Amino acid sequence: MTSTTRDLIDDFLAQKRLALVGVSHDPKDFSRALFRELAKRGYDMVPVNPNLMEVEGSLCFDCLQDVAPAVAGALVMTPPSQTEQVVRDCAEARIKRVWLHRGVGRGAVSRDAVDFCHDHGVSVVEGYCPFMFLPGTPAFHRFHGFFLKLAGRYPAAHAGVGNRE
């Protein structure tokens, strides 16, 4: 069962400089669409993938520890087998907000990664897709959020969570 609250999501999305870890080389990949959409909405997006030099005209970093200036949060779109190392990289880079993306299937969510975040003071969004929480998002993403509400799995607000930078 996920412990993500809407306050954690809102706090993450309130940050203006974010890394997208695991962004694809394929311009048609969902990770690239999300990267472009967040950049279009004014986020200073930083791509992280050791196999790429640039993404959408932005310098791509090998790992989070190399990103300068630092980011306030990391959106993780890696396979679950890589996610624990990514959250360890976040802790080493002093990144205190992590979003483990999930659209369908497991996404980037790994129980070990979530536990690591909880044990090391890193706030973690366990699953979900940021598109569901952005104002004016396309109908498909709104429908996904609506379906989760019907199923009782949409994150509820919980006062006192988060810390804006």
pLDDT, block means (10 residues), the chain with 165 residues:
72 97 95 95 97 96 96 97 97 97 83 96 92 70 50 56 40
pTM above 0.85, yes or no: no
Task: Give Dmax (Cα) for the chain.
Answer: 42
Residue of 144, 151, 104, 126 lying closest to 4 (CA atoms): 126
Q: Which CATH class is domain 6-150?
A: alpha beta
